[in-house]
Amino acid sequence: MYCAGIDAHLRYLQIAVLDRFGKLELNTRVSTREAEELARVLDPFRPLEVVVETCPFWPWIYDLLVPVGVTFHLAHAKELRFIANAPQKKDAVDATVLARMLLSGLIPKAYPRTPEQRETLRLVRHRTALVRERTRLACRIHAQLQQSRVLIEREQLLRKRTREWLESEAWPQLAPEQQALISTHFELIDRTTPLINRLDRRIEKQAEGDRKAQLLMTIPGVGPYRGLLLATELSPIGRFLRVRELVSYAGLAPSTRSSGGHTRHGSIPKGANRWVRGALVSAIPSHLRVAPESSLSAAYETLKQRLGWKVARVAAARKLARIVYRMLKTRESWRG
């Protein structure tokens, strides 16, 4: 058995290969312009396990090596502090350290997506990015209106009736540059919305053929977009041995620091799968609106009275994450 560490860069790959005794068999550099050269260099070493740090370049390496029988491992770059803090920071050394960590079973693993999963994630994440851009534009419009004491509820701004009122009643209260900025932003919103609608139709069609997405869509407030996103991001669910691992992966577990007999609970961590966390947190208002009598809604209302809506929303999202975990594990539909 051989272990290889690949230090990937935009223009080249640094490759280090060790045998099962830890002897360095190869340490060389391959240009990324000649992808077939990577397969040729590694061909004499079989069976072979390869490790690459998370970076923009790992997908094409995965697609090249896995079909020829190479076992692929993806290392979590943020957890590889040993390499980042090493006194000697060279590509050849980094590749060798990666290979030795793989041989010793010390790689902090990330989950490499298959090409099919990556395509689905591109679809749903593209939709998320466009919605966030539209929201950013709407927030800038709100900021300009508030400067002139024109107050509009958040959910009302993009409605046709509100825009007509702005153009007829509120327009004289705005300065010329404010009018220009708001008009420009509305034009960008008008161009973005049809793109989002087209993506929604594609997502709905793809979700129809995904059994896990259909299962999650039985949760009130979870439609095709959130169902497909969660089903793909959390697949395979078996990589989470316990529900708390999924909650931590979604960044919904509050940070805890314990020392000297004192335990302090802080805010939720920033380093997590922001796509999963965003889908779970944004699903709560929809769920409250559609299923106000559910146990999840009841838990939210109880916490809201004690701790406020912000804390209650995250806590409800954490509870929803546990529900999603059980549903994917048992393949049972929502039971309220």
CATH of domain 2-110: 3.30.420.10
pLDDT at residue 321 in the model: 97
**Cα–Cα distance measured from residue 283 to residue 296, given in angstroms and rounded to the nearest whole number:** 11
Q: What is the pLDDT of residues 101-141, one digit of tens each?
A: 999 999 998 999 999 999 999 999 999 999 999 999 999 99
Two structure tokens written together for 153? 């509820």
pLDDT value at residue 85? 60
The rounded distance, in Å, linking the Cα atoms of 37 and 90 is 22
In the chain, the amino acid numbered 215 is: L
Query: How far is the C-alpha of 154 from the C-alpha of 134, rounded, in Å?
Result: 13
Nearest-angstrom CA–CA distance, 253 and 25: 44
Question: CA-to-CA distance for 226 and 228, rounded, in angstroms?
Answer: 6
The model's pTM is 0.87
Residue with tokens 């900021």: 143
Which pLDDT band, with edges at 50, 70 and 90, does 269 fall under?
A: low
**Residues paired with residue 18 on neighbouring β-strands, in sequence order:** 3, 24
**Separation of alpha carbons 4 and 51, rounded Å:** 6
Closest Cα partner for 56 from 8, 98, 110?
A: 8
pLDDT: which is higher, 335 or 2? 2
* Residue-range domain boundaries for the chain: 2-110, 115-208, 216-258+266-330
Give me the pLDDT at residue 191, please.
96
- Alpha-carbon span 199 to 225, nearest angstrom: 9
